Amino acid sequence: MNIQEFIGNFAAQFDDTDEALITPDTKFKQLDEWSSLTALSIIAMVDDEYDVILKGNDIINSETIQELFDIVCNYKK
């Protein structure tokens, strides 16, 4: 698992946001398309792709995609 793969999977949850705008430093909750439904999609994607169950607090406490990626990596250990 690497950050670029994670970004690709993360970006796939958005319909109108250009993947080029999404980087490790992106503050994902500031994206125009971000919503509670998107959060649920991200939780489902992480479960499907990485076999990790994110909690709501994991998303609440993360500001950037890198921080969320780090949480997923820590659960994988």
Q: What is the pLDDT of residue 76?
A: 79
Domains and CATH numbers, the chain: 3-12+25-76 (1.10.1200)
Q: What is the pLDDT of residue 2?
A: 95
The 10s digit of each residue's pLDDT in 28-74 is: 999 999 999 999 999 999 999 999 999 999 999 999 999 999 999 99
Burial of 6 per CB tally in 10 Å (0-12, 13-18, 19+): buried
What pTM did the predictor assign?
0.91
**Other Cβ atoms within 10 Å of 28 Cβ, number:** 22
Q: What is the pLDDT of residue 77?
A: 62
